[in-house]
Every structure is written in C-alpha cells, then in structure tokens.
Amino acid sequence: MSRGLNKVQIIGHLGRDPEMRYTPSHRAVTNFNVATSRSWKTADGERHSETEWFNVVAWGSLAEICHQYLAKGQQVYIEGRLQSRKWEDDEGNKRTTVEIHANEMIMLGPSKKREMAGDDELETDDYEDSEDEFPF
C-alpha cells in the first residue's frame, strides 16, 4: 500500500490575535490567520504582489503557547497539514473551508505580547522588526 503526504510550511504575519477556547473534553484549541505575500516582475518589468491568507488551528499545549505568545502582526513559521471542514451556516448554506492544522510553530521575531506587557521572563533573540512590510 502506498503512503500519501499532507504537509505544509508557511512563513507569514498574523492578521489578528489568536483566539483560544476549550473543547467539551477540556482540550485547548487556538485559531488564528496568517498572511503570506509574494511579489514578482512581469516580462515587461511591471511589479506585482499578492497576499494569501491561511486559517491555522493549533491543539493542546501548542494551542496554549500560540495563545500566550503570539499577537497580530507577528511573523511566524507554521508547519502542519491541510484539513478541509464542511458545515452548514445559519441560513442552511453548505460551507467548506481549508485549514492548516499546526504541529509546529516558531516565532520569527520577538513576542508582540511580551513587548506590550514589558515581560522580561521570555528570552528571545533580537530580530529586525519587519512590520513595515505589512499594514496590520
């Protein structure tokens, strides 16, 4: 029997603060979105860019870490798998979404929550802040 592969890696900036909740079985789940951008030049030298948004879901201890340390605008590396989800909205319309279910997260800059709170307990390397590149 052949095996399949479902793996995704992205680097981008959070579009909003992570939102955490607990399932009825008391398992933490955190949702947030990440924007990735790319730019290119056409053959005639015209510059183009596009931004792609990804919904990210983290579970368990990773969910708690994401909620505690990540904030809107922060650059992050996410690794996980793609999973589609189907549901019916309040009007009875069938909806589908594709999410990244994260199994690894690496902060690529200082914690925004640490900067806002002035918390010195978390040690991070000094990275150049690249927020100027993104309008959020």
Give tens-digit pLDDT for 87-130: 999 999 999 999 999 999 999 977 766 566 655 444 434 334 44
Given this model, what pLDDT does residue 109 score?
77
Q: Which residue do the tokens 């690894």 mark?
A: 104
Contact 55, 82 (CB under 8 A): no
**In this structure, are residues 105 and 8 in contact, taking their beta carbons and an 8 Å threshold?**
no
Lowest-confidence segment of 13-27, 68-82, 94-108, 111-125 by average pLDDT: 111-125
Give the domain extent around 12: 8-40+47-113
Residue 58 domain flag:
yes
Total domains in the chain come to: 1
| 99 occurs within a structural domain | yes
Flag whether 130 is in a domain.
no
CA–CA separation, 35 and 58 (whole Å): 16
Residue 70 · residue 76 · CB < 8 Å: yes
**CATH number of the domain where residue 61 is located:** 2.40.50.140
- Indicate if the alpha-carbon torsion angle 107, 66, 19, 103 is positive or negative: positive
Q: How far apart are CA 101 and CA 31, in angstroms?
A: 10
96 domain residue, yes or no: yes
Residue type, 10: I
